[in-house]
């Protein structure tokens, strides 16, 4: 059964490693699950799962393997038969609402409830429905099926209210799910290549300048004189331009990951980020929604972000050739009388280092993708994969 659980975890996409599995075995050997399924659930989760984004997958795997396993070995088949009253469910739901919080005092202490449950299981010898003491359906004791008591023990069947053994079924962690093709970490690792050290920064002198110290000490007639210098800091400034056009929507998750990676890489001196629609014209938008008015002049960007900024353009370069070359511009925003092609040339003239990252770049030249080919000839273009990103970073750092 446990091997099956391991397989189920991996089948649901949980990257459970053998070492973690062995740790779980060790924990079970030490009796840390205390023969309780709920405890086992938490124990397995804390050892096998390392991110709240994976909890939901784990819940599903767990449910698949242990559905109905709760107390199964302790409950006789006869008793389960008495409790199997699915046709009464609708009726019970109404009734249960009335009974909720009434009747027998609230049972919050699990141990006590379980204790009582076992006691009563020993004593019970017939079917009970609707009562308030024996284990049965639609009742208001702490045990049984379809009941309305909060904090009780459910015996088989579906959960009426979340309080009875409902951790797994509730799928509480569904919202945390985060299916990512590319690992954010891989992106961050690629961005680490963007380092250029400069000592001209306003920071205290905290590093020992060995050459300076030797020199000063010699001048000082052999008496030690320490010289400190400013630590080397990354001087790379980054300008990101994201295409937020309709054809980019399928890649929004990838864009988001890239964006996150840049923001989590806190080693840059400065990061500026703007959006555009299909191609760059006279305005750059401040938000991905590209709303009219919420923009800055592209020329303002040229003026204020000097040519040392390294520019990364992210877009699919998918547009009709006439859209790229027409001087009436695109339908969304003003173009300042210049075509997209001319704006791209201005961009290239202004900034020393520019790369274009394309999430759906063709593997080789495709004559029908005229705009992509043209832009690829103008600016170095790379496919937006970890490898492509690494190559692009190399181009950005080349002197």
CB 135 within 8 A of CB 155: yes
In the region spanning residues 266 to 285, those forming contacts with another protein, defined by CB under 8 A, are: 266
Q: Which of 7, 72, 81, 183 binds another protein (CB under 8 A)?
A: 183
Size of the site for another protein (CB under 8 A): 32
Q: Binding to another protein by residue 32, rule CB under 8 A?
A: yes
Instruction: Write the CA distances from 125 to 76, 128, 134, 189, 318, integer angstroms.
Output: 11, 9, 10, 66, 74
Which CB, 185 or 205, lies closer to another protein?
Answer: 185
Taking the least distance from each CB to another protein, the nearer of 43 and 346 is 43
Other beta carbons within 10 angstroms of residue 137's beta carbon come to: 23
φ and ψ of 10, to 5 deg: -70, -35
Q: Determine if 235 is a binding residue for another protein (CB under 8 A).
A: no
3 state DSSP class of 61: helix
The 198-227 site mask, x for binding another protein (CB under 8 A), equals ----------x--------------xx-x-
In this chain, which of 12, 37, 43, 397 binds another protein, going by CB under 8 A? 43
Instruction: Name the residue with tokens 């306003």.
Output: 202
Specify the DSSP class assigned to residue 73.
G
CA torsion sign for 196, 200, 204, 206 is: positive
Is 153 a binding residue for another protein by CB under 8 A? The answer is: no
38 vs 326 by CB, closer to another protein: 38
Is 175 among the residues that bind another protein (CB under 8 A)?
Answer: no
CB of 113 to another protein, least distance (A): 14
Cα dist. 277→107, 354, 358 in Å? Answer: 60, 18, 14
Strand partners, 136: 144
Report, in angstroms and rounded to the nearest whole number, the Rg of the chain calculated over CA atoms: 32
Measure the CA–CA gap between 349 and 347, rounded to whole angstroms: 5
State the nearest-atom distance from the C-beta of 227 to another protein, in Å: 11
SS3 151: coil
For another protein, the binding residue among 4, 158, 264, 365 (CB under 8 A) is 264
The distance of closest approach from Cβ of residue 309 to another protein in the complex, given in angstroms and rounded to an integer, is 23
Q: Which of 6, 14, 20, 275 binds another protein (CB under 8 A)?
A: 20
Task: Give the Cα separation of 258 and 114 in Å (integer).
Answer: 50
Pick the stretch among 14-22, 288-296, 301-309, 333-341 that binds another protein (CB under 8 A).
14-22
C-beta closer to another protein: residue 17 or 218:
17
DSSP structure string for 110-141: HHHHHHHHHHHHHH--S--BS-SSSSEES--S
Cα–Cα nearest to 275, from 292, 250, 253, 254? 292
Site mask, another protein, residues 343-362, x = CB under 8 A? --------------------
Q: Does 158 bind another protein (CB under 8 A)?
A: no
Integer CA distances (angstroms), 363 to 238, 360, 381, in order = 27, 9, 11
Q: Which two tokens stand for residue 130?
A: 């609707």
Applying CB under 8 A, which part among 17-25, 73-81, 91-99, 328-336 lies near another protein? 17-25
* Contact call for residue 368 and another protein (CB under 8 A): no
Rule CB under 8 A: is residue 35 a binding residue for another protein?
no
Is residue 52 within 8 A of residue 95, CB to CB? The reply is: no
CB of residue 342 to another protein, shortest distance in Å: 38
Q: Does 189 bind another protein (CB under 8 A)?
A: yes
Closest CA to 380 of 391, 370, 368: 391
The binder of another protein chosen from 39, 205, 215, 348 (CB under 8 A): 39
Q: Summarize as ranges the residues that interact with another protein (CB under 8 A).
A: 15, 17, 19-20, 23, 26-27, 30, 32, 39, 42-43, 45-47, 49-52, 55, 183-185, 188-189, 192, 208, 223-224, 226, 264, 266
């Amino acid at each position: 059964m446990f091997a099956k659980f391991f397989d189920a975890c991996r089948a649901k996409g949980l990257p459970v490693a053998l070492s973690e599995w062995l740790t779980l075995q060790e924990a079970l050997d030490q009796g840390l699950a205390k023969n309780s399924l709920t405890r086992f659930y938490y124990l397995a989760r804390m050892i096998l799962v390392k991110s709240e984004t994976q909890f939901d997958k784990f819940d599903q795997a767990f449910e698949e393997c242990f559905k109905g396993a709760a107390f199964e070995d302790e409950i006789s088949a006869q008793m389960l038969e008495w409790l199997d009253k699915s046709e009464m469910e609708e009726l019970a739901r109404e009734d249960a609402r009335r009974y909720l919080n009434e009747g027998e005092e609230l049972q919050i202490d699990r141990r006590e409830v379980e204790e009582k449950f076992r006691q009563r299981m020993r004593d019970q010898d017939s079917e009970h429905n609707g009562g308030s003491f024996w284990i049965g359906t639609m009742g208001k004791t702490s045990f049984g099926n379809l009941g309305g008591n909060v904090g009780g023990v459910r015996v088989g069947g579906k959960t009426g209210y979340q309080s009875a053994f409902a951790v797994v079924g509730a799928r509480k962690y569904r919202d945390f799910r985060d299916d990512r093709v590319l690992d954010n970490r891989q992106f961050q690792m690629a961005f680490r290549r963007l380092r250029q050290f400069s000592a001209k920064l306003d920071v205290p002198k905290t590093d020992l300048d060995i050459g300076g110290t030797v020199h000063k000490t010699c001048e000082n007639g052999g008496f030690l004189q320490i010289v400190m210098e400013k630590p080397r800091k990354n001087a790379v400034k980054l300008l990101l331009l994201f295409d937020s056009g309709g054809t980019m929507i399928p890649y929004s998750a990838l864009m988001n990951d890239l964006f996150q990676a840049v923001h989590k890489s806190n080693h840059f001196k400065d990061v500026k980020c703007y959006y555009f629609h299909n191609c760059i014209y006279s305005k750059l938008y401040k938000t991905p929604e590209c709303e009219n008015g919420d923009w800055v002049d592209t020329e303002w960007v040229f003026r204020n972000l000097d040519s040392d900024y390294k520019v990364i353009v992210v877009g699919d370069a998918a547009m009709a050739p006439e859209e790229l070359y027409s001087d009436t511009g695109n339908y969304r925003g003003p173009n300042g009388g210049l075509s997209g092609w001319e704006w791209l040339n201005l961009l290239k003239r202004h900034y020393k280092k520019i790369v274009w990252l394309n999430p759906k770049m063709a593997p080789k030249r495709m004559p029908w993708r005229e705009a992509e080919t043209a832009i690829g000839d103008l600016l170095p273009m790379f496919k937006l994969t970890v490898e492509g990103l690494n190559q692009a970073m190399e181009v950005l750092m080349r002197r």
